[in-house]
Amino acid sequence: MTAPLEWRISEAPVPYPEAVAFMEARAAEIAAGTAPECIWLLEHPPLYTAGTSAKPADLVDPDRFEVHATGRGGQYTYHGPGQRVVYVMLDVGRRGRDLRRFVQQLEAWVIATLAEFGVKGELREGRVGVWVQRPEKRPLPDGAPAEDKIAAIGIRLRRWVSMHGLSINLEPDLTHFGGIVPCGIREHGVTSLVDLGCPVTMTDLDMALRRQFDAVFEGAGPEGR
């Protein structure tokens, strides 16, 4: 019988190298069948991460915070206090061995979580992550409505076990995103739940994430659990 999924919550900010070391060790144990799948909810101290597609020109202020190269897909992202980072160590091989479907489930999980707070998250072709429309802002030069990113998604697989995951902006310092071009996208901004006027606590967000994980992934786990 497969052990139940483990949920971990860290109250204090976790240094990035410490988080990566844990993920790599747990992923190896999951692949070997010696540890359960794990979802880790945490915050980081302010830092930038560079995914496998990161372009040097998108690191606008390289001396502002620590910069960590990472094996996940994507470009530059910011992590810091007030942002819920969700590291997802799941056995994708036993959950259908379908990477595209797995990413779609992660996207659906974020969108369903945001919906609990009345926020409509949307996907955009060619733009990774989850976006919200900002009709109160000035339209883009081509007349398209302004949109801001509220959640980032980037994963890595090792022996069909996922690492890294997603981040949702609850109440980070949005000026900290100014040191990079987030995910290489210059024409759109970044927002958060509090910036959108949602009085949400981290505990509220964590509870919504747990509820919606069950709703999205139910029946898709190892051996059909």
**Residue 28 assigned as binding residue:** no
Among residues 183, 200, 205, 216, the one annotated as catalytic is 183
Residue 142: predicted pLDDT? 81
Residue 178 in domain: yes
Looking at the structure of the chain, the number of domains it has is: 1
Residue 63 in domain: yes
Residue 224 in domain: no
**Whether 38 is catalytic:** no
**Residue 153 assigned as binding residue:** yes
Report pLDDT digits (tens) over 145-180.
889 999 999 999 999 999 999 999 999 999 999 999
Q: What does the pLDDT average to over 86-93?
A: 97
Residue 223: predicted pLDDT? 43
Residue 183: predicted pLDDT? 65
The residue whose two tokens read 């190896």 is 28
Query: How far is residue 198's CA from residue 213's CA, in Å, rounded to a whole number?
Result: 21
CATH number assigned to the domain comprising residue 105 = 3.30.930.10
Report pLDDT digits (tens) over 66-79.
999 988 878 899 99
> What proportion of the chain, given as a percentage, has pLDDT over 90?
76
Percent of the chain that is helix, strand, coil (3-state, to 5): 30, 30, 45
* Confidence class for position 224, pLDDT limits 50, 70, 90: very low
**Residue 152 assigned as binding residue:** yes
Residue 225 in domain: no
Residue 86 in domain: yes
Which residue segment(s) compose the domain that 213 sits in? 6-219
Residue 179 in domain: yes
Residue 180 in domain: yes
Residue 148 in domain: yes
Q: What does the pLDDT average to over 102-117?
A: 97
Report pLDDT digits (tens) over 7-46.
999 999 999 999 999 999 999 999 999 999 999 999 999 9
